Amino acid sequence: MLLRGFFHFVIYSDKAGKGQTMKRREGDGQETAGAAWTDRGQKMAKAAARVLAILLGNTLYALAVTGFIMPNGLITGGTTGLGLFVNRVCGLPVSLFVSVFNVTMFLWGAWALGRAFAVTTVLSTLFYPMALGAMEYMGFEGFVLEERLTALLYGGILIGAGIGIVMRAGASTGGMDIPALIGKKKWNLNVSMSIYLMDCVILGLQAAATDAEAILYGILLILVYTLVLDRVLLLGGARIQVKIVTRAYEEVNRQLGERLDCGTSLLHMETGYLHREQKMVLAVINKRELPRLNQLVLDLDPEAFMIINQINEVRGRGFTLKKIYRDADLPMGS
């Protein structure tokens, strides 16, 4: 029932986001029954992939905690950090504390943030503590390493990758994220700053039960998984933007389309010194295509002026949407 409800929400959200409805259009826009079933199958596959990504991300998170954080006496922030603090003070299992805390935060978030939040967070709320408990129950003792810094790096990479995978699936890991999201909605507080402040408080609580070296390792752990998280969120979305100023802009524009299969735009510009009006070629490409583009442009115009920037994400036709090839002399609506 839980997965069925999540599938239903994902399919509904995808349709709403694209401005589609379940109703068939009459007349020229009517779809065939086969096309409708194909579309539904694609949305179910997409929903299944999102669920698997959420489960995989939370599994990596649980593996980091039980495999590297706990066995090596490291500390961290978030709900897991609170659980480690309670475990060291009164011996309560981390998985039990995380279960109770996550469910409490989830109920608060569902009441304050609504149904959409609840559906995208419920899987992590339930599965993460279950994964922790399963690993503890199976007697998985983790990896005790001679160098705590090595354990910190392994744990940070796994935590950052796990949270990043969950967030790329459009979900949340729950826990301490929820008070920050509620603060954003109610009082317009910065989410990142709220989470950092709560992590500092949690590290401060653990300071009483650990040494100064462990606190430093805890800070480094948060920095490592934050850096990894940022890289995972940008994974596959980074592109190179190239602006080309050349008198041979028409030939450059044509060659980019024919030889690199690259979409381009022509921007009107005026040179600053001579006030000469001409057009500039704008293109967005993959990193591996940059050497070919450089060579192509310089072969056509050795004096071409190029501005090259890395951009974090590109959305639209040719990137997140399938390419459509049209004849140059046909109108856009054809």
Q: Could you tell me if 74 and 208 lie in one domain?
A: yes
Number of residues assigned to the chain = 334
Compute CA distances 112 → 44, 77, 124, 164, 208, whole Å.
Answer: 29, 23, 18, 24, 33
Look at the block and give the residue holding tokens 């569902």: 110
**What local confidence, expressed as pLDDT, does residue 170 receive?**
74
Q: Could you tell me if 226 and 285 lie in one domain?
A: no
Q: Could you tell me if 154 and 303 lie in one domain?
A: no
CB 292 within 8 A of CB 260: yes
Q: Is 64 a residue whose pLDDT tops 90?
A: yes
The reported pTM is 0.68
Tell me the residue type at 150: T
Of the residues 202, 234, 266, which one is the last residue of a structural domain? 234
**What local confidence, expressed as pLDDT, does residue 17 receive?**
46
CB 290 within 8 A of CB 281: no
pLDDT per residue as tens digits for the range 289-323: 888 899 999 999 999 999 999 887 777 776 667 77
Q: Could you tell me if 299 and 223 lie in one domain?
A: no
pLDDT per residue as tens digits for the range 130-185: 998 898 888 888 888 888 899 999 999 999 899 889 888 877 787 887 888 888 88
Q: Could you tell me if 259 and 156 lie in one domain?
A: no
How far apart are alpha carbons 121 and 154 in whole angstroms?
26
Q: Could you tell me if 169 and 295 lie in one domain?
A: no
Mean pLDDT for 94-109 is 89
Q: Could you tell me if 190 and 262 lie in one domain?
A: no
Q: Could you tell me if 59 and 203 lie in one domain?
A: yes
Mean pLDDT for 200-204 is 85
How far apart are alpha carbons 232 and 262 in whole angstroms?
26
How far apart are alpha carbons 117 and 13 in whole angstroms?
12
pLDDT per residue as tens digits for the range 262-274: 889 999 999 888 8
**What local confidence, expressed as pLDDT, does residue 89 receive?**
84
Residue 122, in any domain of the structure: yes
Count CB neighbours of 71 within 10 A: 17
Residue 31, in any domain of the structure: no
CB 118 within 8 A of CB 110: yes
CA 40 to chain centre: 25
**What local confidence, expressed as pLDDT, does residue 19 receive?**
47
**What local confidence, expressed as pLDDT, does residue 260 receive?**
86
CB 180 within 8 A of CB 195: yes
Residue 333, in any domain of the structure: no
**What local confidence, expressed as pLDDT, does residue 313 receive?**
74
Upper half-sphere CA count for residue 17 (Cβ side, 13 Å): 7
- What is the span of the domain harbouring residue 291? 239-311
Count how many domains the chain has.
Answer: 2
CATH code for the domain in which residue 252 is found: 3.30.70.120
Residue 6, in any domain of the structure: yes
CB 206 within 8 A of CB 84: yes
**What local confidence, expressed as pLDDT, does residue 77 receive?**
85
SS3 34: helix
Q: Could you tell me if 251 and 128 lie in one domain?
A: no
How far apart are alpha carbons 168 and 178 in whole angstroms?
17
Of the residues 234, 254, 287, which one is the last residue of a structural domain? 234
CB 285 within 8 A of CB 310: no
Residue 30, in any domain of the structure: no
Percent of residues, the chain, with pLDDT higher than 70 = 83
How far apart are alpha carbons 190 and 245 in whole angstroms?
40
CB 232 within 8 A of CB 262: no
